[in-house]
Amino acid sequence: MVLERKSLVIDERDAASWIRDGMTIAIGGFINSSHPMAIVRQIIRRGVKGLTVVGPASGGLDLDLLIGAGCVRKLVTAYMGGEHYCPVAPMFRAAVERGELEVWECDEGMYYCALRAAAQGLPFTPWKAGIGTSFPEINPDIKVFNDPITGEPLLAIPAIKPDIAIIYAAHADPYGNVQHIGTGFGDRALWRAADRTIVQVERIIPNEEVRKNPLATSLYGVDAIVRAPYGSHPFAAPGYYIEDAEHLREYVAAATTYAKYGDRGPFEAYLRKYVLEPETHADYLQVIGIKRLIALHEY
Amino acid sequence: MTREYAKDFTTKELIATFIARQVRDGERVAVGAGLHVPRAGILLAHLLYCPNVRLYVVMTFTNLLKEPKMEPFYTVTDFRPAKWAEAYVLHDDFQENPRLVSNLFVVGALQIDPYGNSNLIGVGEDYRHLTFRGPGAVGTTSMAHYVDRYYLYVQSHDRRIFVEKCDFISTVGWGEGGPDGRRRLGLPDNGPIYCITPLCIMDFEPQTKRMRLASVHPGVTVDDVVRNTGFELIIPDVVPETEPPTVEELQVLRQRIDVEGMLRI
């Protein structure tokens, strides 16, 4: 009998079918970069509800889109905005102010504590920063306790365990060896904490490429690989393309119309045009258009 | 040697120069992407006074002493400055030891109270029904805790920001004040050093740890500051003007750092 190593490559529809109502999912990247958008848009198309979304330590407009599309019940992140595109993410702001979204309030340090506790199977990670702040009041999961060694007060940041982490990276081989270009932000923390990890990549590379430089492997043994060129669009992909500023401004304008004036029309139109009507990632790229996409390589 | 001061400069350039004077050679300094003025100040310190500063620039560490001029970058995820990288910073490493990232930090705020406690969470009496939801704490809570020195920095100075009591505290300042305000909370004594605004510089009076006017920017009166501050500030008998940029500082700022003129608009 000849044994074959199994390819872990699936498409974005298979990947999104792993996500079910009410799950805790983690989404990688950082604010305006490196989000697995082909999978995120497919989650919205499937109409998944009631998710607890563990964003990156600082979340961006990818999460804002999921919130606006009604997929998210609870959000775990320390920031929600688009830097100079918008100081506060509009659908996030609207959902919180209307009492429709629960926020697990934390700062970036506390956020990594929660993931680390999950990765290590511990009930919590102790953390000092945050004593004297409102965090233990506005996030009742965070407890103040006295350190048994010094008697000083500490915060207990409880574990948050994602069922599935969905991460964007530049490359992977078919067997779950992943290469980021650049730092990979906090993606390793999501991978360490989650039960399963799906990585969406720009290109699938041969296993021989991976073996040329194993130090470049940033995540190993992940559960599935999705190939989606331009798959972080409209966000940046280190080494490939910068963020699509014009598209992000279009999104912010549509979402802000709801956040500020209560008119959901422009956001719904955005959702139809860019998410619901294109059936696949390839269809989405057709809507964006080749001229726009290749212009993002010039920076 | 007397310093030759520049005569024509903007408030943003003045503040950048003030921030430049806070940096010490050899330390680690995070260069924020979104806050143009503190970023320019830290780079100014590096190019003129602190050749060995270890710069944390958009998830990399580097030294930019020999760069003739800074190319612009606008976000913390802009990967173009990675061409300067001597090391990548994995963002989750930040929790392993925040002091490896920076020895000083600049904290923004929606609200600041007289003791320098600050709020980035939101505005409203009830957390479940906020009237304005802010962006969130980002890394300010933890960075301000672990660094040696932190500074509060706001881009406007009014009574909505400077309030008697913050609706929520995301970064602790000097607690409820007093000489041991932080120690009573079980915290080290590294509360905010200055609060920097478009009108003035404020510090914290050592006994009460209440905010005190340290200097006003050119063209601003003490009364302007008092009128725009929603709590009682400590006003010393003599309030100097904020020290202006030198001719050399302004030249380096304009020719090598703020090439695009972001600080001049």
Could you report the per-residue pLDDT of A249-273, keeping only the tens digit for each? Answer: 999 999 999 999 999 999 999 999 9
Over 80: is that where the pLDDT of A68 sits? yes
pTM of the model: 0.96
Report the distance separating Cα A203 and Cα A169, nearest Å: 9
Q: In this predicted model, what pLDDT tens digit does every residue of A12-40 receive, in sequence order?
A: 999 999 999 999 999 999 999 999 999 99
**Per-residue model confidence (pLDDT) at position A219:** 98
Q: Which residues of A touch B138 (CB under 8 A)?
A: 58, 78-79, 107-108
Backbone dihedral angles phi then psi of residue A196, each to the nearest 5 degrees: -135, 155
Residue pairs spanning A and B at CB distance below 8 A:
174
Q: In this predicted model, what pLDDT tens digit does every residue of B51-98 receive, in sequence order?
A: 999 999 989 999 999 999 988 777 888 888 888 999 998 999 877 888
Q: In this predicted model, what pLDDT tens digit does every residue of B12-27 receive, in sequence order?
A: 999 999 999 999 999 9
**Closest Cβ opposite residue A183 in set B88, B119, B169:** B88
Q: Give the residue carrying structure tokens 């800074």.
A: B70
Q: In this predicted model, what pLDDT tens digit does every residue of A198-255 receive, in sequence order?
A: 999 999 999 999 999 999 999 999 999 999 999 999 999 999 999 999 999 999 999 9
Report the distance separating Cα A52 and Cα A76, nearest Å: 8
B219 φ/ψ sector (left φ>0, alpha ψ -120 to 50, else beta): left
**Per-residue model confidence (pLDDT) at position B1:** 53
Pick the range with the lowest mean pLDDT from A111-115, B16-20, B31-35, B40-44. Answer: B31-35
Asked whether the beta carbons of residue B139 and residue A31 sit closer than 8 angstroms, the reply is no
Contact of A144 with chain B, judged by CB distance below 8 Å, is answered with: no
CB B16 within 8 A of CB B41: yes
CA distances A53 to A63, A101, B263, Å, are 8, 11, 38
Contact of A127 with chain B, judged by CB distance below 8 Å, is answered with: yes
Backbone dihedral angles phi then psi of residue B106, each to the nearest 5 degrees: -110, 125
Q: Give the residue carrying structure tokens 């991978």.
A: A191
Tell me how far the alpha carbon of residue A287 is from its chain's centroid: 23
Report the distance separating Cα A171 and Cα A177, nearest Å: 8
Q: Per-residue pLDDT averaged across B245-265, rounded?
A: 95
Asked whether the beta carbons of residue A239 and residue B77 sit closer than 8 angstroms, the reply is no
Report the distance separating Cα A264 and Cα A268, nearest Å: 6
**Per-residue model confidence (pLDDT) at position A39:** 98
**Closest Cβ opposite residue B79 in set A99, A103, A236:** A236
Q: In this predicted model, what pLDDT tens digit does every residue of A135-186 receive, in sequence order?
A: 999 999 999 999 999 999 999 999 999 999 999 999 999 999 999 999 999 9
Going along chain B from its start, the domains and CATH numbers come out as: 1-102+243-265 (no CATH), 107-242 (3.40.1080.10)
Contact of B132 with chain A, judged by CB distance below 8 Å, is answered with: yes
- Mean pLDDT computed over every residue of chain A: 97
Over 90: is that where the pLDDT of A298 sits? no
Does ipTM surpass 0.90 in this model? yes
Helix A37-46 and helix A281-288, axial crossing angle in degrees, nearest 10: 110
Over 80: is that where the pLDDT of B33 sits? no
Cβ density class A2-33: b for 16+ within 10 Å, e for less? eeeeeebbbbbbebbebbeeeebbbbbbbbbb
**Per-residue model confidence (pLDDT) at position B227:** 98
Q: Which residues of B touch A116 (CB under 8 A)?
A: 95
B7 φ/ψ sector (left φ>0, alpha ψ -120 to 50, else beta): alpha
**Per-residue model confidence (pLDDT) at position B141:** 97
Q: By three-state DSSP, how is residue B226 classified?
A: helix
Report the distance separating Cα B181 and Cα B114, nearest Å: 12
Torsion of CA A45, A48, A51, A53, to 10 degrees: -20
Name the DSSP letter for residue B254: I
Tokens encoding A153: 């007060």
- % of chain A beyond a pLDDT of 90: 99
Q: Per-residue pLDDT averaged across B34-52, rounded?
A: 94
Q: Which residues of A touch B141 (CB under 8 A)?
A: 107, 109-110, 129-130, 133, 135
Q: Quote the minimal CA–CA distance from A54 to chain B in Å.
A: 14
Asked whether the beta carbons of residue B133 and residue A88 sit closer than 8 angstroms, the reply is yes
Q: In this predicted model, what pLDDT tens digit does every residue of B118-167 receive, in sequence order?
A: 999 999 999 999 999 999 999 999 999 999 999 999 999 999 999 999 99
Going along chain A from its start, the domains and CATH numbers come out as: 9-107+161-295 (3.40.1080.10), 123-158 (no CATH)
**Per-residue model confidence (pLDDT) at position A106:** 98
CA distances A130 to A76, A126, A264, B186, Å, are 17, 11, 37, 11
**Per-residue model confidence (pLDDT) at position B171:** 98
At residue B99 the predicted structure's pLDDT band, cuts being 50, 70 and 90, is confident
**Per-residue model confidence (pLDDT) at position B97:** 87
Q: By three-state DSSP, how is residue B251 classified?
A: helix
